[in-house]
A and B are shown apart, each in its own frame.
Chain A
């Protein structure tokens, strides 16, 4: 594989990174109401750029590369977009745009004020998250990715405590401290890799890695750091309070995208840096943690009294499914491994869209009713039909019923589990689906039954439509053709690691 040279279309990757960075600069310098205008104005361009990158990758049939300054690694820095990067870029751009337009009313700078702290923070941090995610998706060396990971954390934390209530400050602090633990672990791992092999470029490392204790230590440290930031059970302590207390638009981005950023790096580490090693046992450990997350997260969601906390615990559970990709796709050249790989990515996308839509709906609901206590939702679907349609469609995907991306993910995951003879993974997948049905039922059944609920505020139709559009994306993923799954395979190393 050629490493050093830029490919046609590679400049698009630079543009994609520069767009939100320029947006941040402009927002800082212009300040006030302009921050909102810049953020809202740049999102459509971001979507176009992401689609252009996806188109280029699809056309080329292999990753597109840009080497900064024309210097090939290990001296220079390479940006690379393969199938999964391209798809994640599009998903991130769409969800961020949706969240930004949804948040317009809440984070508008009030009339008569030149600049409001919370509005400025929100718009700048949103763009910072976007920039960080793009670098994570196209970054080609581990240290760059570290910087992006830090940027992601430092941009996400202020969003949690943006309204300054004491409990949000506590939640944000918890998030920050634990994420920093994760950062330290990750950075130590990167240092060990550099010490052992003299490079931190992903492709070069993949060629050089040897199964030495140092490499394993590096992998273990980096993985643990990333798990802490992804909030995989049992290191999920910060997620429920942080995601449940943030404003709805922020929760949607945090739950839909930010945790996927660190998960994406975990994929990069195990499938792109270490594919040549025997990773079966480690994969089983990760899958086991994921299974535990599915069960514990779902049971906890069943018991929550508040809708936003329920949705947050559902995120803990759905993150668990993601980690089943490690045992189910680790077979390298095996045929079932492709199903496992597609399943993992399908789950990332379906959850991102469905959960973002659900958090936005929970926001509409809390605003309109003045509370989000599940016990008081009796008859609420009559006054908020569109919002409950959104929750139902999102729930469909979370439960894994067709037609939805969630169903496709489960279908492929089960297929990989059965075909590879790894029976035990079918159990958490199926039980998780049943439990998800339970918590979706808890929301929908009372809301649809007879009862009188009065609206405090009339919900904004535009917000409801944005949330619905996001969950519809999760439903449309259920009709994804084989070509889409093939696209996800572009650039994936298929070195067989099993004998």
Chain B
């Protein structure tokens, strides 16, 4: 079994890379791109097999990479691969995106698969860069100024995140006494490392940029607004989970770090509410979903914080399950925008009911996958203040998602054309799958799904949703008009600060021009001689 799994792990990366290689031969390019929906199949298989059983670690010869699969990673790998397969197949069936889009797509796919199975620092860094940077090409190769702006902002955060993580990883590596780069080893050495706190701070900031943690949230609404629906579905569903797996892998488990736990929980809940409040000010359903992602990722961050606070060792699995549910539902919700825009007013009650169930699944509506996700998180949000805060966030999510359903009637322009026709036709199946697939996995990974069917549990899940929906309807009835908040809220301040930063350009140019004058250069040379001489003679 382990041999099969090792082969599948290697194939998970080899398959998309082989197709990528084929793209460099002009004759094969179109064929390779049309077949790329097949590339995540080994990952799907590896994920399904690896979901149960002990973690598997394999060192690849020559390249020096380590592949690693544990059940939380396998769960996310499986659902992410399934999403890539469905969306890729539908997109390339409906139309033929050009080569640069196709290559960006394949690179992002490779990185996305890779983050769940990378087992050492350098290869994790590599695949993390792959899932972040080429995604720019999925929505920003355009002359539209808003898309260009979204692309530039996205890339700025991606690159900044990379820089922060580079330093973090260097510290992790430096703290490992035996020079092993395996994530398991460096994380084992972290609690005793002299660089522990600096590394943790950088890790939280770095991955926080990927998951839209406040105050690094501004790029996400811009990005999902600018991206075509299939791209937004993938980035919001699978792409963002690179940040989640990053936090799962690089936060210590089974160790109590009170300060970091409190900080993480606080910033998580802050993001959870922040997303709801700012999402309510928006009318574009894509943007609302982006704010909902900020909020949901906040819940995940908070859960990781409470786990750190209590020293829970098994939180990673619960968080992974919650993320897997979010992955499916969020992607399905983006497709809902396209499907509803195409259908226009000819909506059957079944479609509407499915959309409601899907949207409220995020708030933990009983009988949906969301209810299971909530159940899975229960050990993290057990009682007391955190329990109350978690329930409040459920109410907020129900409120925001009802607002989303209301805004579905006015889809953004182009939504109907963006969504591949195959996905529009099969939308009910997609929605049902997003609601039910978590049930299939929950049993498989050792959870007790029947618990979610207990009357008390159902009631527990229902009342926050009802309150949220009622609140939303009341706001609607009151014709409450929210303040006008720009998409991406705080990002406008960041952009303004950036523009101000550009003013240093002329200052540097002046400096450079002056230093490149002959007298200045001669003087510089003299000063260099004198300072080196003084440095030497002064004896140190």
Contacts and interface: CB of A to CB of B under 8 A. Distances in A.
A300 interface: yes
B515 interface: yes
Given A289-B528, A479-B64, A216 B536 contact: yes
A336 to B, nearest CB: 8
A241 to B, nearest CB: 9
B536 A479 contact: no
Contact of A296 (B195, B508, B520): B508
A208 B505 CA distance: 48
A435 B508 CA distance: 14
A95 to B, nearest CB: 24
A26 interface: no
A325 B426 CA distance: 60
Interface stretch (B10-18, B83-91, B121-129, B325-333): B121-129
A457 interface: no
B389 interface: no
B525 A181 contact: yes
B275 interface: no
Nearest to A233: B515
Contacts of A224: 525, 528-529, 532
Contact of A299 (B148, B152, B504): B504
A469 interface: no
Contacts of B529: 185, 220-221, 223-224
A380 interface: no
Contacts of B173: 415
A433 B173 CA distance: 20
A302 interface: yes
Nearest to A189: B529
Interface string B150-162: 0110010001101
Nearest to A411: B170
B64 A234 contact: no
B122 to A, nearest CB: 6
A430 B163 contact: yes
A485 interface: no
A197 to B, nearest CB: 16
B521 A234 contact: yes
Interface in B95-153: 100, 122, 125-126, 129, 133, 136-137, 140-143, 148, 151-152
Dominant secondary structure at the A interface: helix
B167 interface: yes
Nearest to A316: B512
B17 to A, nearest CB: 12
A15 interface: no
A438 B122 CA distance: 23
A401 B533 contact: no
Interface string A377-405: 00001000000000000000001111100
B350 interface: no
Nearest to B515: A234
A448 B100 contact: yes
A359 B170 CA distance: 31
A303 interface: yes
B64 A481 contact: yes
Contacts of B126: 402-403
B151 A445 contact: yes
B521 A418 contact: no
Interface in A256-296: 277-282, 284-285, 289, 296
B532 A285 contact: yes
A451 interface: yes
Interface in B482-513: 504-505, 508-509, 511-512
Interface string A194-237: 00000000000000000101011101110110011000011111
A227 B528 contact: yes
A479 B63 CA distance: 7
Given A448-B100, A479-B63, A285 B535 contact: yes
A401 B533 CA distance: 38
A280 B531 contact: no
B142 A411 contact: no
B166 A410 contact: yes
A227 B508 CA distance: 21
Contact of A300 (B136, B140, B508): B508
B511 A228 contact: no
A299 B505 contact: yes
A219 B525 contact: no
Nearest to A182: B525
A89 B64 CA distance: 27
B539 interface: yes
Contact of B170 (A181, A296, A299, A418): A418
B518 interface: yes
Contacts of B518: 237
A211 B174 contact: no
B414 interface: no
Contacts of B477: none
A169 interface: no
B151 to A, nearest CB: 7
Nearest to B151: A445
- Central interface residue in B64, B504, B518, B524, by most chain A CB within 10 Å: B524
A419 B174 contact: yes
B93 interface: no
A211 B524 contact: no
A227 B137 CA distance: 41
- Central interface residue in B64, B137, B167, B511, by most chain A CB within 10 Å: B167
A437 B136 CA distance: 13
B246 to A, nearest CB: 16
Contacts of B538: 281
Nearest to B506: A303
Contact of B528 (A178, A211, A223, A296): A223
Interface in A442-462: 445, 448-451
Contact of B166 (A178, A219, A236, A414): A414
B508 A450 contact: no
B540 interface: yes
A30 interface: no
Contacts of A479: 63-64
Interface string A82-120: 000000000000000000000000000000000000000
Contacts of B4: none
Nearest to B531: A285
B536 A220 contact: yes
Contact of B171 (A185, A236, A418, A481): A418
B509 A300 contact: yes
B479 interface: no
B537 interface: yes
Contacts of B133: 401
Contacts of B125: 402
B522 interface: yes
B536 A282 contact: yes
B511 to A, nearest CB: 7
A60 interface: no
Contacts of A411: 122, 166, 170
B163 A433 contact: yes
Contacts of B166: 400, 410-411, 414, 430, 433
B162 A236 contact: no
Interface string A239-259: 000000000000000000000
Contacts of A281: 535-536, 538, 540
B162 A300 contact: no
Interface in A418-435: 418-419, 426, 430, 433-434
Nearest to B170: A414
Contact of A450 (B142, B155, B532): B142
Among all A-B residue pairs, the 5 with the closest Cβ atoms: A216-B536, A220-B532, A281-B535, A237-B516, A414-B170
10 contacts: A185-B529, A227-B525, A227-B528, A235-B524, A282-B536, A289-B528, A303-B505, A445-B140, A448-B141, A479-B63
Given A181-B525, A217-B533, A430-B166, 17 more contacts: A213-B533, A213-B537, A216-B536, A219-B536, A224-B532, A237-B515, A277-B536, A281-B536, A289-B528, A296-B512, A411-B170, A415-B174, A418-B170, A434-B160, A445-B136, A448-B141, A449-B142
